[in-house]
Amino acid sequence: MSMENTVVSPTQLDIDKVRQDFPILHQEVNGKPLVYLDNAATTQKPQVVIDALTYYYQRDNANIHRGIHTLAERATAAFEETRQAVHRFINSNEPEEIVFTKGTTDGINLVAATFGRANITEGDDIIISGMEHHSNIVPWQMLCEEKRANLKVIPVNDRGEIELEEYKKLLSERTKLVSVVYVSNSLGTINPVEEIIELAHENGAAVLLDGAQSTTYLDIDVQALNCDFYVFSGHKVFGPTGVGALYGKRRHLEKMPPYQGGGEMIRSVSFEKTTYNDIPYKFEAGTPNIADVVALKAAIEYINQVGKSAMRAHEEELLEYGHRRLSAVPNLRMIGTAEKKMNVISFVFEDIFHFDIGQMLDARGIAVRTGHHCTEPLMSRFGLEGTVRASFAIYNTKEEVDQLVEGLQRIVKMMGK
Ligand code: PLP
């Protein structure tokens, strides 16, 4: 599929063309044109990604790495080309530093179960922030329980920003790992990760960045960031579900024990002793999710072709417009007003339950997410059970924001608020 005309200038998207690339958008839901504003949960897929999946199963499907026949060679080549694509996409030092996972959650669990188990001992501290997704809380909690280590939490201020001065107070020689989200899925806050990483390193701690929300729109350069680990999910970057990547510095990955035992992660097996494969294969036991890994490359190429600067400019324009328009809706209170934020607008109405709003918007064909967004502690911080969250992508338009606003205004009126 040609994408030649998708970009009309480095900073302006041809939005009609972009929308044509995503077949799912062209449907009615409950008798109304679909307005998909749930992109922080998952993004829709361009035709090139869907085609890559189909093409792989129609032409190349075979198990990888172990075959010498032509299909096995083609499948292996396509799989490894995605590793190269991810390596260039986030600028790792080498492709061997890219491990395929099921997604962000799997990547964090891998690091907790390997690096964590090998390096955290009784009395050590792991630091996370108050705005983490459950995926970046629970694995560390489990590890801390097992090792009798301490989980420390950086507080979040009323705007939904990390309190850096409090972070500095938490750091000490006991800190072994800092694991924070780059961009909050619930509030859209862009965290000052460069400073967080530098401060952690000054204290001898390693840093994991949860890149689930940052990888689509921000230029990611893991070498410049100097993080020790970076994780993201394919399905948030217009790619398939069930696939993601973990970046780890070679020196860490080499020292880490394997995650799971099985095929591909071994060099040789006897009943007496097994020796392990080199990185990254040491962490890729069993037949991986080959087709979705292959299609992830198509998603990365799509982003590269559209251009992150054009994507970001569009997302910034929508966010600014959305903030302005939604602020004028009676009784609407925004949650998360950080100075640096992207992509997400979370809000509540004092007397209308968020879930009801989600249902009533769905009746108008508008898809938003309601609830705690897998960040229950953050919701508690704001004294809430949940919010309504509208999150944007490159195919959303100002007209769709207008439809959201109009929908909310009608709901407010109907409920007599
Ligand atoms: N971290 C953040 C910030 C997220 O937004 C998400 C998904 O919503 C995750 C982690 C978990 O990602 P996944 O479910 O793809 O593993």
pLDDT digits (tens, 9 = 90+) for 268-319: 999 999 999 999 999 999 999 999 999 999 999 999 999 999 999 999 999 9
Confirm or reject: Cβ of 212 under 6 Å from ligand 1.
yes
What's the pLDDT at 188? 98
> What share of residues in the chain are helix, strand, coil (percent, to 5)?
40, 20, 40
Q: Residue 3 domain-assigned?
A: no
Query: What is the rounded distance in angstroms from the CA atom of residue 269 to the CA atom of residue 408?
Result: 62
- Condensed to tens digits (0 to 9), the pLDDT of residues 118-176 reads 999 999 999 999 999 999 999 999 999 999 999 999 999 999 999 999 999 999 999 99
Residue 4 CA to ligand 1 center (angstroms) comes to 31
The torsion angle over the Cα atoms of residues 133, 136, 137 and 143, rounded to 10 degrees, is 160
Q: Residue 314 domain-assigned?
A: yes
What's the pLDDT at 417? 62
- Residue 361: name the closest of 385, 337, 326 by CA: 326
- What are the C-alpha distances in Å from 365 to residues 33, 34, 37, 171, 374? 6, 5, 10, 47, 24
Query: What is the rounded distance in angstroms from the CA atom of residue 149 to the CA atom of residue 127?
Result: 11
- Residue 260: name the closest of 248, 276, 249, 241 by CA: 276
What's the pLDDT at 89? 98
User: Once rounded to an integer, what is the mean pLDDT over residues 235-255?
Assistant: 98
Answer yes or no: do 321 and 280 share one domain: no
Confirm or reject: Cβ of 240 under 6 Å from ligand 1.
no
What's the pLDDT at 49? 98
Answer yes or no: do 88 and 28 share one domain: no
Ligand 1, atom 8, lies closest to the CA of 41
Q: What is the CATH number of the domain that holds 95?
A: 3.40.640.10
Answer yes or no: do 231 and 191 share one domain: yes
Confirm or reject: Cβ of 210 under 6 Å from ligand 1.
yes
Q: Residue 157 domain-assigned?
A: yes
Residue ranges making up the domain that contains 328: 15-45+307-415
Answer yes or no: do 60 and 168 share one domain: yes
Q: Which of 131, 133, 231, 373 to mutate to test the pocket of ligand 1 (most atoms within 8 A of CB)?
A: 133
Number of H helices, E strands in the chain: 15, 19
Q: Residue 7 domain-assigned?
A: no
The string of DSSP letters for 381-412 reads: HTT-S-EEEEE--TT--HHHHHHHHHHHHHHH
Helical spans, DSSP H, in 244-366: 250-255, 290-306, 308-327, 354-362
Answer yes or no: do 186 and 240 share one domain: yes
Closest ligand 1 atom number to CA of residue 106 = 16
pTM given for the model: 0.96
What's the pLDDT at 2? 41
374 is catalytic: yes
Q: Residue 80 domain-assigned?
A: yes
Confirm or reject: Cβ of 92 under 6 Å from ligand 1.
no
Answer yes or no: do 291 and 311 share one domain: no
Ligand 1, atom 12, lies closest to the CA of 104
The torsion angle over the Cα atoms of residues 325, 186, 83 and 218, rounded to 10 degrees, is 40
Answer yes or no: do 41 and 64 share one domain: no
Q: Which of 304, 325, 345 is the last residue of a domain?
A: 304
Residue 133 CA to ligand 1 center (angstroms) comes to 7
Answer yes or no: do 299 and 315 share one domain: no
Q: Residue 92 domain-assigned?
A: yes
Confidence band of 3 (pLDDT split at 50, 70, 90): very low
Q: Which of 304, 324, 354 is the last residue of a domain?
A: 304
Torsion over CA: 239, 242, 248, 251 (sign): negative
Q: How many domains does the chain have?
A: 2
Confirm or reject: Cβ of 131 under 6 Å from ligand 1.
no
Rg (CA), the chain: 22
What is the chain's mean pLDDT, rounded? 95
Answer yes or no: do 134 and 254 share one domain: yes
Confirm or reject: Cβ of 147 under 6 Å from ligand 1.
no
Answer yes or no: do 156 and 270 share one domain: yes
Q: Residue 87 domain-assigned?
A: yes
| Structure tokens that stand for 87 in this block | 């390596």
Q: What is the CATH number of the domain that holds 37?
A: 3.90.1150.10
Q: Residue 197 domain-assigned?
A: yes
Catalytic residue of the set 108, 131, 149, 374: 374
Q: pLDDT above 90 covers what percent of the chain?
A: 93
Answer yes or no: do 385 and 328 share one domain: yes
Q: Evaluate if residue 350 carries a pLDDT over 80.
A: yes
Answer yes or no: do 182 and 34 share one domain: no
Q: Which of 288, 304, 320 is the last residue of a domain?
A: 304
Query: What is the rounded distance in angstroms from the CA atom of residue 339 to the CA atom of residue 157?
Result: 12
Residue 134 CA to ligand 1 center (angstroms) comes to 8
Residue-level length of the chain: 417
